[in-house]
Amino acid sequence: MAGYMPAQALLKTLLLTCASFSAGDVTESDFSILDRGRPACCVLFPGGIPNYDTAGRVREHQWEAILDLAKRFTSDADWSTFGALRDEVVAKLDATKALSADYFIVNITTDGDPDKLTGPAGAIILQTLRITINEQV
């Protein structure tokens, strides 16, 4: 069993291929990036375990990755650019359903609408995406 963390590393590598992100814009559990004034960034961290069969009858495990997607807010026009950023990320995840021979993206949901938050580096638009991944075991 490989577990969740290899899937998170594969997700990070995939997200770094999005045109909106540069090398430091995608982190694993490092929320300080939200305060660094980046135009767009995201934070990946472990989520729930929707299904983990211990009887061995099902040859797959499910993992949930949490992706906090953020866009710097400077004007109302940034709501549209946030929408374009989210579209780009979802399209990339949809186009690459197989992260590897063992990990597959099977569902993407959100925790609700995007929010505007104010912090030390100014305001950001933030939305949480939940990515369900099947691991073949």
Q: What is the CATH number of the domain that holds 15?
A: 3.30.2000.30
* Calculated CA dihedral for residues 72, 19, 132, 106, nearest 10 degrees: 140
The better pLDDT of the pair 37, 122 is held by 122
Residue 4 CB coordination number (10 Å): 18
In the three-class reduction of DSSP (H, G, I as helix; E, B as strand; rest coil), residue 123 is classed as: strand
Residue 106 CB coordination number (10 Å): 12
Number of residues that this document lists for the chain = 137
Query: pLDDT for 77-110, tens place per residue?
Result: 999 999 999 999 999 999 999 999 999 999 999 9
For range 1-7, the mean pLDDT: 87
The pLDDT of residue 12: 97
The pLDDT of residue 38: 87
Residue 68 domain boundaries: 5-136
The pLDDT of residue 42: 96
* Calculated CA dihedral for residues 83, 100, 106, 63, nearest 10 degrees: -100
pTM listed for this prediction: 0.91
- Cα 115 to Cα 52: distance, rounded to the nearest angstrom: 32
Query: pLDDT for 15-54, tens place per residue?
Result: 999 999 998 999 999 988 888 888 999 999 999 998 888 8
The pLDDT of residue 28: 95
Instruction: Report whether 18 contacts 12 (CB < 8 A).
Output: no
The pLDDT of residue 54: 81
- How many separate domains does the chain show? 1
pLDDT above 60: residue 1: no
